[in-house]
Structure 1
Amino acid sequence: MTRYGHGLVLGKFYPPHAGHHHLVETALARCERLTVLVCASSVESIALEDRVAWMREVHPDALVVGAVDDHPVDLRDPDVWDAHMAVFRAAVPESVDAVFTSEPYGEELARRFGAEAVSVDPGRERFPVSGTAVRADPAGTWDFLEPPVRAALTRRVVVLGAESTGTTTMALALADHYRRRGGVWARTRYVPEYGREYSELKLAELRAERPGAAWSDVAFHSADFPVIAQRQAELEEQAARDGSPVLFCDTDAFATTIWHERYMGTTSAATGEIAARGRQHLWLLTDHRGVDFEDDGLRDGEHLRPWMTARFLTQLAHSERRTAVLTGPHEERLAAAGGDLPRGGAGGAHVALVPDGGGEGVGVAEEDG
């Protein structure tokens, strides 16, 4: 089998899937060095920098570069070919010995690079998937995706609210509801509230110094909250990388900004910056009304619940986060939460989650070509 000095794999990777990774791994095995060129149109819904980052993570042994290519696609027009090649050559100026591709244009692309064309699984028999198929049905192609792509496509639902309003119960119930659908949904994850674990640690540390100390003796400081928010975001990201197409979170970094106000009486710029980097899609606010306050040893804010509910609502609206308020008994709240699950994602291709009996779940509208 011929080995090559410098190989090239070129594509949109919109998004990258198992077929793309098989192509790259095949090329890596046959080349001394490999360049992967990710080309994206400026109107596409998945950013070029994201695709480049995903490919670099999955293929650390390849040189992954990106280029914006807004030229039309017409394989019969030499002038269009010339325009594309100008973009490709600017991104990959060194000589290329072999071009690895699964596409019918591989021969012409290789000829224009002065390289040998190497065809890899052109019939997509080994991995029957395409970028178009992923965009059309992420859930149906979920097992063809690597963790960073899953994390980006996962629809993240946050349950938040004042103390003792059932956020944990609701997040767990929603995750269980999806798991029972089976298939890819059986992997639906739940992210617990890290702030509670942090609080338990603070109380344990205090009791190690002062046996018999109570929760009311624990003191919080402003510096605690960015730590909580950052760890919450990390746990969420980890869960999104190996779960199903939907993820349920018991609070998030945004909620932590409100908890900072509750304990410290002021806003926290550092916590807010962490919240701004979040990738959540829907916030379910559990109303305090109709829910008895239960003191579990880490709660002391029954009198603050009306203020917290109102503050959550105000800040959710101010930040234009998509929100649904859950009221009434638990079963009514659960039914309402299912009906409000996200049916629109950010940017171009959008994902719809179907709570009950509406097909296989996640679907993406082909608004992006």
Structure 2
Amino acid sequence: MVKANLVKDNLMGDKIGVFFGTLAPMHIGHQAEIYKAAALNDGVVVITSGYTGDRGDQIGLPVEKRFRYLREAFNDEKSIKVDYINEDDIPQMPNGWQEWTDRLVKTIKRNIKNPNAHITLYTGEADYKSMLEKLLPNDGHWSVSLMDRTILKVSATAVRKDPLGNWDYINRVFRRHFAKKILVVGAPQTGKSTLTRRLARTSNSPFSLEFSRAYQEKSNVFDSELLLKDYTRIIQGQYDANSAEINSPANNGLTFFDTDAMVTMAETRAWLPDEDAAKLKALFDNTIGEEELDLILVIPPAVAVMNGADEARTKLFDQHLWQVIEDYGFDDKAVLLDRVGGADDPAGYYARYLQALEIIEKRVGVNLTKV
């Protein structure tokens, strides 16, 4: 089944540009060439091409996902239309040139209205230009333009090797794929919201707030009064809050989350009747399955107890939290913030802050003390 841009008509005009490539990911060099093609033509077809196991797929960006990101990236550009070529059923290069070119021609034609339009393909590879000029239809409607690659500030290969080091070059829509996601969790009254905020601001990174707190304040309900329907809204609300920070223009490669669906699941296991908690499992499975976390910082329950929280209730929550983390395969991402403070830091807040910075550097590869 051929997918289409839902809100765009086929391109009109006598001159159509075509920009193609792996685009894994798209960076500002690609954008510059696409905008150049748009300025020189009546419209541009942007085509991402690839196969299962290609360099994009190897980093979690299969061609279908790249196609979706590109559609979003150019959604507000009426003269730019996006499509893709899945190469799984044709020989891989350099053996599949004729099959690939035939598919390229079909892909272009299904995105334009004028069958007699002049088509200019833009490529940065001299070998591609030579091959395409041999294989494209010999009807006078096709030409190939060689881009000046010296104006490209970065390559997709460099971005894949070091996304954070090349962050400014990555297209904003594609940035969500490379963002490092750090979750801070713990029982109520452990200071997780404060720690989340301070870690994020140390690196000028975006951070989410705990949705359930705002929800409960607005609804004027206590923890003990939350019902099944409340947890359904909290699960989705927290996921949306975390996603908003990943997609935020402020995302500089690091994002911090104050709570997530795993925390909410631990709460339901600890405090909801088993029958009600079981009804939420499908929603939890789907939501947690979407969370591609890089690091989970866990504040121990002793902090909450020291701050006056009910010890039995707090320990029960903590037990369920660790079990949920293990159940969903995130135990290798979770680290306990267990550092004890000195005489001037009896609650250990500063000690855990410093410990968190060290763990982020070790696990994520970012030294926040030098940001």
- TM-based fold match above 0.5: yes
Any stretches of 5+ residues in structure 1 without a counterpart? Answer: 180-185, 207-214, 345-351, 362-369
1:249 is aligned to 2:272: no
Aligned to 1:192: 209
Match of 2:231, as an amino acid? F
Query: With structure 1 as the length reference, what TM-score do the two structures score?
Result: 0.77
1:159 aligns with 2:184: yes
Pair 1:101 & 2:123 matched: yes
Residues 1:85 and 2:71 aligned together: no
* Equivalent of residue 306 in structure 1, options 295, 306, 315: 315
Q: Could you tell me how far apart the structure 2 residues matched to 1:47 and 1:123 are? A: 25
Instruction: Give me the whole-angstrom Cα distance separating, in 2, the residues matched to 1:330 and 1:135.
Output: 36
Residue 67 of structure 2: which of 31, 34, 52 is its match? 52
Q: Is the 8 A contact 1:8 1:98 kept in 2?
A: yes
2:334 to 318, 323, 336: 323
Tell me, yes or no, if the aligned pair for 1:220 and 1:263 is still in contact at 8 Å.
no
What displacement does 1:305 show? 0.4
Separation (CA, whole Å) in 1 of partners of 2:160 and 2:14: 34
User: How big is each residue's C-alpha offset from its partner over 1:27-47, in whole Å with a ceiling of 9 and x where there is no partner?
Assistant: 233334432221123113222
Higher relative contact order (CA 8 A, sep 6+): 1
Q: 1:356–1:193: structure 2 CA closer, same or farther, 3 Å change rule?
A: closer
Q: Answer yes or no: is the 8 Å Cα contact 2:361–2:368 preserved in 1.
A: no
Give yes or no for the alignment of 1:260 onto 2:268: yes
Q: Distance in 2 between matches of 1:291 and 1:264?
A: 21
CA distance in 2, matches of 1:72, 1:54: 24
| Partners of 1:107 and 1:162 in 2: CA distance | 60
Q: Helix, strand or coil: the match of 1:289?
A: helix
Contact 2:215–2:234 at 8 Å: present in 1 too?
A: yes
Query: What SS does the corresponding residue of 2:149 show, helix, strand or coil?
Result: coil
Letter in 2 for 1:156: K
- Give the residue type in structure 2 aligned to 1:354: V
Partner residue, 2:154: 129
Q: How many angstroms apart in 1 are the aligned matches of 2:350 and 2:103? A: 57
Conserved? CA contact 1:226–1:274, under 8 Å: no
| Structural mapping, 1:6-45, within 5 Å | 6-43=16-53, 44-45=57-58
Using the TM superposition, give the Cα deviation of residue 113 of structure 1 relative to its aligned residue in structure 2, in angstroms.
Answer: 2.5
Change (3 A) 1:103 1:226: farther
| Root mean square deviation, CA, Å | 2.8
SS in structure 2 opposite 1:128?
Answer: coil
- Identical counterparts, % of pairs: 18
Moved over 6 A (4+): none
1:340 aligns to what?
359
Structure 2: unaligned runs, 5 residues or longer? 1-12, 341-347
**What SS does structure 2 have at the residue aligned with 1:98?**
strand
Match of 1:63 in 2: 81
SS at match of 2:83: strand
